[in-house]
């Protein structure tokens, strides 16, 4: 086990996380030039494990989920802190940290305690899956990617079939299903 993994393991014991499930169509985040951007987002937190599923919206021409991924991560952390999903001793410190994601090494020193670090690790190490519905991505059918991040939030999209990702994560493929009819009507839900 690497030193970072040991530290992360120690920190995870400090954090208390509520079981929760939420779905957003559309979920808004800051895109290029701070424009309001949108995607589908669903998260489920159960027994300390978190699955976050994001999807590109049909007929959407703003910042895509691949290019806007760091901003999506940042907004999810802020959202979970605002929803009191984590029991944090200093939630404002974590929010300040994620708002400064472009300088993670300097910002990391600003976190006050292991609880803040554990909350950040929890979101960074969540099971992130990106979905491109039929007709939205580069291929005609639906496409899925498992997204992984390092400590500095450098991310990698690993494109695989839905069943392969589900097996890798140890979940049922139904957990990765999206009701595409909700995505089609996303503009009517957007304010």
Q: Is the pLDDT of residue 50 over 80?
A: yes
Q: Is the pLDDT of residue 103 over 60?
A: no
Higher pLDDT, 86 or 11: 86
In sequence order, what E strands does the chain have?
Answer: 16-17, 20-30, 36-46, 49-55, 86-87, 127-132, 143-149, 155-160
Determine the pLDDT at residue 77. Answer: 84
Q: Is the pLDDT of residue 14 over 70?
A: no
Question: What average pLDDT does the segment 25-52 reach?
Answer: 90
Q: Is the pLDDT of residue 65 over 90?
A: yes
- Identify the H or E element spanning 110: none
Note the pLDDT tens digit of each residue in 126-167. Answer: 999 999 998 887 778 899 999 998 877 789 999 999 999 999
Determine the pLDDT at residue 6. Answer: 38
Instruction: Work out the number of other CB atoms within 10 angstroms of the CB of residue 31.
Output: 18
Model's pTM, two decimal places? 0.82
Q: Is the pLDDT of residue 26 over 60?
A: yes
Q: Is the pLDDT of residue 4 over 50?
A: no
Determine the pLDDT at residue 59. Answer: 86
Closest CA to 116 of 75, 69, 80: 80
Count: domains in the chain: 1
Note the pLDDT tens digit of each residue in 104-127. Answer: 555 555 655 666 777 778 888 899
Query: Which domain range does residue 158 map to?
Result: 3-189
Q: Is the dihedral of CA 86, 91, 93, 98 positive or negative?
A: positive
Question: What average pLDDT does the segment 87-92 reach?
Answer: 67
Closest CA to 118 of 94, 153, 145: 94
Strand partners, 158: 146
Instruction: Give me 8's structure tokens.
Output: 């992360």
Determine the pLDDT at residue 79. Answer: 86
**Chain mean pLDDT for the chain:** 81
Residue pair 23/38 in contact (Cβ under 8 Å)? The answer is no
């Amino acid at each position: 086990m690497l030193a970072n993994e040991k530290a992360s393991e120690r920190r995870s014991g400090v954090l208390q996380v509520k079981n929760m499930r939420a779905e957003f169509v559309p979920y808004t985040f800051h895109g290029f030039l701070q424009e309001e951007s949108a995607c589908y987002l669903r998260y489920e937190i159960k027994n300390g494990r978190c699955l976050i599923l994001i999807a590109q919206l049909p007929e959407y021409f703003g910042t895509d989920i691949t290019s806007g991924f760091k901003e999506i991560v940042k907004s999810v952390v802020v959202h979970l802190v605002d929803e009191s999903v984590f029991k944090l001793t200093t939630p404002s410190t974590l929010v300040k940290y994620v708002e400064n994601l472009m300088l993670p090494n300097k910002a990391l020193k600003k976190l006050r305690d292991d609880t803040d670090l554990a909350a950040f690790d929890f979101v960074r190490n969540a099971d992130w899956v990106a979905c491109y519905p039929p007709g939205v991505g580069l291929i005609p059918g639906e496409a899925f990617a498992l997204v992984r991040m390092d400590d500095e939030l450098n991310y990698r999209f690993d494109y695989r079939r839905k069943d392969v990702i589900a097996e890798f994560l140890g979940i049922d493929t139904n957990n990765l299903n999206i009701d595409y009819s909700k995505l089609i009507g996303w503009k009517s839900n957007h304010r």
